[in-house]
Amino acid sequence: MENTSQKKTAVIAGAGPAGLTAALELLRHTNIHPVILEKDEVVGGISRTVRYHGNRMDIGGHRFFSKSPEVLRWWDGLMPLQRPEGPDPEKEDRVMLRRPRISRIYFLRKFFDYPITMKKETFSGLGLRRVLHAGFGYLWSCIHRLPETSLENFYINRFGRPLYRMFFEAYTEKVWGIHPSKLGADWGSQRVKGLSVSAVLRDMLSKALGRKDRDGAHVETSLIEEFIYPKYGPGQLWETAAEEIMSLGGEILMESEIVKVKVERGEVKSVSAKDKDGNLTEIHCDYFLSSMPVKDLITCIEGTEIPVEVREVAAKLPYRDFITAGLCVNKLKIGRIQDTWIYIQERDVKLGRLQIFNNWSPYLVKDCEETLWLGLEYFCSEGDELWQMSDDDFIHLAEKELIQIGLIDEGCVLDACRVKVKKAYPAYFGSYYSLNTVKTFLDTIPNLFCIGRNGQHRYNNMDHSMLTAMECVRIIQSGNLTDKDAMWNVNTEEEYHETKKS
């Protein structure tokens, strides 16, 4: 093994997709020794797989989808995609499955296609009065455009007010805890850009004419119908990346929470992490790549003056937290269904989305024939009523809500668990609009790089996190550490957008 003491060292905060990608790219393309510090006990960050009594849970339901050939090649290099001539998932573990995307909306105790389609079942499900109201509302929105000053107006312009009220208003408030009239329109333009009644009509027409675009290049992302998925859930890909990093000589220190980033003469000189027993370790470094939340990073920096405004903006950056209840049930009241996930639009429950893990990958479920392994997703804020509930009370609530909306019968839950995720969503309101102040300050430290979702406070997907890490490594390779625009601007000019409503 090479003598790492002669090499430069990059300390990386976080073993999520961004941190792991950065480490592997450094090992593949440079002579820099990466040391990842991860506060959790498993790798994968939000994209990890949680194991519970023989079942595996994806906290969120992570579709692997990207328009970047570089990202697709990277995934394929670690875990080959299921192909007719490729690995057989029955025999091999390291394989990416091709999965059909089937997701519907549950509203008025009925199922509707997501995105809504103009078919008989939709009209009969909504009823004539609602359909006419929605139709006139849409036509009115086409002639009476609202200024796009809020997310509410963004939706109304694309769907009309009645459809917005039915399908977006309550759900968006569940996700963000804030009414859409108080949220910025940029959330909509980033997440559901291009999706509208006219996009749905175009998609239907092109299918009718047989012009379906398999690679999705001209299909709005919200309409994409197939994605790839690791056999054992998203964490499997990241566990494989971690193994590769260690086999190439990189280090990953688990249960090591970064608490101090020491700056001397304008550069990061060392990073200190606390282990689970509270012991501190200081690691000297030449580069520091941070995928930890911007808010936490600012509080860790010592040895340089941080302007008061920067501290204030960072301290007030908003996030939304997230809880998943895993419920193993013997059956659904409506029988077996094929959906990967279902948006719960019912206003009388707090439940936001329901995952059916059997349909993501049968290999996630211990007894896929006899049981259904469900993920019930709740959006919340750290410290609120949902967050404070005991595990038992929370699981009871989740079970009660599924019964209330008619999806399961009493007594059919066989086993259950709950997982809490802090800072699952970097949010776009409040001090987010002054984020540039923080970014400008961080960019004055040449060997400090902000990568990933919370690392850049960008509400984005795994591939975005990976691309920020890849750009960061390219900047380090170039030796010009003063221009980090390529890393901060990943995706913004591309045609990429996420595929879900949340």
Ligand X SMILES: Cc1cc2nc3c(=O)[nH]c(=O)nc-3n(C[C@H](O)[C@H](O)[C@H](O)COP(=O)(O)OP(=O)(O)OC[C@H]3O[C@@H](n4cnc5c(N)ncnc54)[C@H](O)[C@@H]3O)c2cc1C
Q: Token pair for residue 128?
A: 């004539």
Report the site for ligand X in 423-452 (rule: CB under 6 A): 424, 452
One residue of 11, 12, 16, 448 binding ligand X per CB under 6 A = 16
Stretch that binds ligand X, among 165-173, 326-334, 354-362, 461-469 (CB under 6 A): 461-469
Q: Quick one: 148 or 498, whose CB is closer to ligand X?
A: 498
What CA–CA distances, in Å, run from 191 to 32, 201, 342, 428, 499? 36, 19, 18, 12, 7
Among 25, 33, 38, 222, binds ligand X (CB under 6 A): 38
The C-alpha atoms of residue 220 and residue 179 are separated, in whole angstroms, by 26
Taking residues 478 to 497 in sequence order and writing x for each that binds ligand X by CB under 6 A, - otherwise, the string is --------------------
Could you give the CA distance from residue 158 to residue 146 in angstroms, rounded to a whole number? Answer: 10
- Part in contact with ligand X (CB under 6 A); list of ranges 35-43, 91-99, 133-141, 208-216: 35-43
CB of residue 108 vs ligand X: minimum separation in angstroms?
25
Strands 9-13 and 287-290: parallel
- Name which of 321 and 399 has its Cβ closer to ligand X: 321
Residue 34 · residue 26 · CB < 8 Å: yes
CA 136, 138, 141, 147 torsion-angle sign: positive
Compute the distance between CA of residue 217 and CA of residue 173 in angstroms, rounded to an integer.
31
| 55 lies in the site for ligand X, by CB under 6 A | no
Site stretch for ligand X (CB under 6 A), options 12-20, 275-283, 431-439, 473-481: 12-20
222 DSSP assignment: G
Q: Which is nearer to ligand X, 134 or 487 (CB)?
A: 487
Tell me the HSE value of 96 on the side-chain side, using a 13 A CA sphere: 24
DSSP 277-308: TS-EEEEE-SEEEE-S-HHHHHHHEESSPPPH
Q: Is 13 in the site for ligand X (CB under 6 A)?
A: yes
Query: How far apart (Å, rounded) are the C-alpha atoms in residues 450 and 443?
Result: 9
Q: How far is the CB of 97 from ligand X (least distance, A)?
A: 14
11, 23, 24, 37: which one contacts ligand X (CB under 6 A)?
37
Residue span 234-273 as binding mask against ligand X, x where in contact by CB under 6 A, dash where not: -----------------------xx---------------
In the complex, minimum distance from the CB of residue 489 to ligand X, in angstroms, rounded to a whole number: 16
Residues of this chain that interact with ligand X (CB under 6 A) are 13-19, 37-40, 45-47, 60-63, 257-258, 291-292, 296, 322, 424, 452-455, 460-463, 465
